[in-house]
Amino acid sequence: MSPVILNLTKICYGYPGGPLVLDDLDFHLHAGDRIGLVAPNGSGKTTLFHIVMGLLKPLSGTVEAFGEARKVETDFVEVRRRMGLLFQDADDQLFSPTVLEDVAFGPLNLGKSREQAVAVAVKTLDFLGLNGFEDRVTYKLSGGEKRLVSLATILAMEPEVLLLDEPSTGLDSSTKEKLIDILNTLDLSFVLISHEFDFLSQTARHIYTMEGGRIRFDRELNIHTHRHAHLMGNQPHRHV
Amino acid sequence: MINAPFADGHSWMHGIDPRLRVIGAVVFAVVVAVSYEFAVLFAALILSLSMALSARLAFRDVVHRLLTPLIFLLLLWAVLPWSYEGDALTTLGPVVITRPGVILCAQISVKTVSLMVAFMALLATMTVDTLGHALNRLRLPDKMVHMLLITYRYLFVIEQEYQRLVRAMKIRNFHPKTNLHSYRTYAYLVGMLFVRASERARRVHGAMICRGFNGRFVSLREYPPRIRNPVFCLFAVLSLVMLVALEWLT
């Protein structure tokens, strides 16, 4: 078995004045895992990601990442360096005026020199097929471009794990294809939240659901195809 | 919402270290603001116009930007000449136009135009983020600089959210009238904008922390030492000394 990267035990979390969103949640991520999470809105998927990154503190339970318990703010500095979180809304992630500055922001914070940071940023943009985007203004990008640039800002920090919060939402089919290609080319572990089974089935190896504030590992969704026959089966159609 | 037509140029002025330009603009503003001699004010006007020329600003854009302050100046010209006390210059029917009133208006007008043009030439020729980084390197508090930069970036997002809320009101047939319902609706609109802005701020801060933000922005832009920097300094010091001397001697 590959080493455990992330180990959450008995995590509880609720927003002030509300019910528990996460209730005794257990979660393990091994190196090389590619996990998809499907669950209704408001079931705590985003909250889970924010707890892993240390943006929210769980009411109880322990977060263990890269072999160490992470409790206080300073513990999470290393976690944030080795794990990249892609936010649901790209406008939350891109705050620098130009694309190059935004992508170089992470590497600069990691203590790289200007030249190194720019080199990493340019390399990452090239990898994502975003050549020539360096001087584009971030708020003038289209939705799909914003998503890819956000991904670039994360990848430029050379993380070991990606946490992707609904990366495919609002993308047209060609950008979605591109994103699927990118995720399959990257040799990274990731956890992916999505509502789109199509997208999940092409990227994740295991798909789980969340229910009652927990991840149901006993109820894995299996991607499958099967042959069957019925009248008019030669016409394009959908099964509901 | 904000367009920066002057920031893209490649003139002599655009390549000068932004810090020098910021300092130059501030000192120029102070000197012009405390001067009253017309010789000084017109010299300042000529100076700022020549700076605008050397920055190769488009004449039309400069005039366009001057329109708003000109409206304000018109207002002054409409009120001050007859409301200010002093010796009469001329009388228009029952209204007495005073000499000090007219002089004051003229001073304010020349000051306004020369300062506006100087700021266009010196400061508008850099992007807002360059300005932010320049202020940062001039040891202005980090918090102020961050507020400037982040406001600039998110003004557009907040404007979009505003438009979205207004659309939501319009499609449900909201027509503003002078009644409590309209006032309340507008209050909700403003309240919602504040709530959304603060939620947005929380998320953006989270995203920044995730990327290792520790309270300092590092700028990618570099302004290497160039011969034009000391030339600009020399020129600026000489002209400012000239202005001050003119004011003092006359």
Helix (H) or strand (E) holding A164, with range, is strand A161-165
The pLDDT assigned to A1 comes to 65
In a domain, B5, yes or no: no
Q: Do B117 and B22 sit in the same domain of this protein?
A: yes
The pLDDT of B91-101, averaged and rounded, is 86
Q: Do B25 and B119 sit in the same domain of this protein?
A: yes
- Distance in angstroms (rounded) separating the CA atoms of residues A211 and A157: 33
The pLDDT assigned to B173 comes to 84
Cα separations in angstroms, A230 against A19, A226, A238, A240: 47, 13, 12, 15
Contacts of B93 (CB under 8 A, 6+ apart): none
Q: Do B220 and A138 touch (CB under 8 A)?
A: no
Question: Cα torsion at B226, B232, B234, B238 (round to 10°)?
Answer: 180
Q: Do A109 and B153 touch (CB under 8 A)?
A: no
The pLDDT assigned to A139 comes to 79
The pLDDT assigned to B2 comes to 60
Closest CA to A107 of A92, A94, A118, A96: A118
- For chain A, the residues whose C-beta falls within 8 A of a C-beta of chain B are 50, 53, 55, 77, 80-81, 84-85, 87, 89, 91-93, 95-98, 100-101, 104-106, 108-110, 114, 117-118, 138-139, 153-154, 157
Closest CA to B247 of B41, B26, B30, B109: B41
Strand A214-221 and strand A206-211: pairing? antiparallel
The DSSP 8-state label assigned to residue B123 in this structure reads T
Instruction: For B57-97, give the secondary structure using H, E and C.
Output: CCHHHHHHHHHHHHHHHHHHHHHHHHHCCCCEEEEECCEEE
| Segment B50-89, tens digit of pLDDT | 999 998 888 898 999 999 999 999 999 999 888 888 888 8
A9, A64 contact by CB (below 8 A): yes
Q: Do B203 and A92 touch (CB under 8 A)?
A: yes
CA distance A163 to chain B (A): 11
In a domain, B44, yes or no: yes
Token couple for A168: 């495919």
Q: Do B46 and B118 sit in the same domain of this protein?
A: yes
In a domain, B4, yes or no: no
Q: Do A139 and B153 touch (CB under 8 A)?
A: yes
Determine whether B114 is exposed, middle or buried from the number of CB atoms within 10 Å of its CB (0-12, 13-18, 19+). buried
Token couple for B83: 């409301």
**Could you report how far apart the first and last alpha carbons of chain B are, in Å?**
45
Nearest-by-CA chain B residue for A53: B210
Report residue B121 CA to chain centroid gap.
11
The total number of residues written for chain B in this structure: 250
Nearest-by-CA chain B residue for A88: B203
In a domain, B3, yes or no: no
In a domain, B60, yes or no: yes
In a domain, B6, yes or no: no
Q: Do B211 and A53 touch (CB under 8 A)?
A: no
Q: Do B170 and B203 sit in the same domain of this protein?
A: yes
Cα separations in angstroms, A59 against A16, A21, B54: 11, 11, 62
Q: Do B57 and B181 sit in the same domain of this protein?
A: no
Q: Do B117 and B80 sit in the same domain of this protein?
A: yes
Q: Do B152 and A97 touch (CB under 8 A)?
A: yes
Q: Do B146 and B39 sit in the same domain of this protein?
A: no
Nearest-by-CA chain A residue for B150: A95
Question: Residue B164's domain spans which residues?
Answer: 134-210
Query: pLDDT by residue for chain A (240 residues), tens digit each?
Result: 688 999 999 999 998 888 889 999 999 999 999 999 988 888 888 899 999 999 999 999 999 999 889 999 888 989 998 999 999 888 888 888 789 988 998 898 888 888 999 999 999 999 999 988 988 888 788 889 999 999 999 999 999 999 999 998 888 888 999 999 999 998 899 999 988 888 888 899 888 888 888 887 766 777 666 777 888 878 877 775
Count Cα atoms within 13 angstroms, Cβ side, for A129: 10
Closest CA to A153 of A190, A124, A112, A194: A124
The pLDDT assigned to B90 comes to 83
Closest CA to A148 of A156, B175, A114, B104: A156
Contacts of A47 (CB under 8 A, 6+ apart): A13, A21, A22, A56
CA distance A64 to chain B (A): 17
In a domain, B1, yes or no: no
Nearest-by-CA chain B residue for A111: B212
Q: Do B82 and B112 sit in the same domain of this protein?
A: yes
Q: Do B57 and B156 sit in the same domain of this protein?
A: no
The pLDDT assigned to B183 comes to 92
Helix axis angle, B128-137 to B142-170, nearest 10°: 150
- Whether B175 and chain A come into contact, CB under 8 Å, resolves to no
Q: Do B156 and B231 sit in the same domain of this protein?
A: no
Closest CA to A51 of A25, A16, A89, A29: A25
Q: Do B100 and B185 sit in the same domain of this protein?
A: no
In chain B, the number of structural domains is: 2
Long-range contacts of B207-210 (CB under 8 A, 24+ apart): B207/A85, B207/A87, B207/A92, B207/A93, B207/A95, B208/A95, B209/A55, B209/A80, B210/A53, B210/A55, B210/A80, B210/A84, B210/A85
The pLDDT assigned to B214 comes to 79
Whole-prediction pTM: 0.74
How many Cβ pairs closer than 8 A exist between chain A and B? 73
Kindly provide the ipTM of the predicted complex, given to two decimals. Answer: 0.78
In a domain, B146, yes or no: yes
Domains of chain A with CATH codes: 4-221 (3.40.50.300)
Q: Do B26 and B70 sit in the same domain of this protein?
A: yes
Closest CA to A85 of A206, A190, A195, A202: A190
- Whether B152 and chain A come into contact, CB under 8 Å, resolves to yes
Q: Do B212 and A81 touch (CB under 8 A)?
A: yes
Provide, as residue numbers in chain A, all residues whose Cβ is less than 8 Å from the Cβ of B129.
96-98, 101
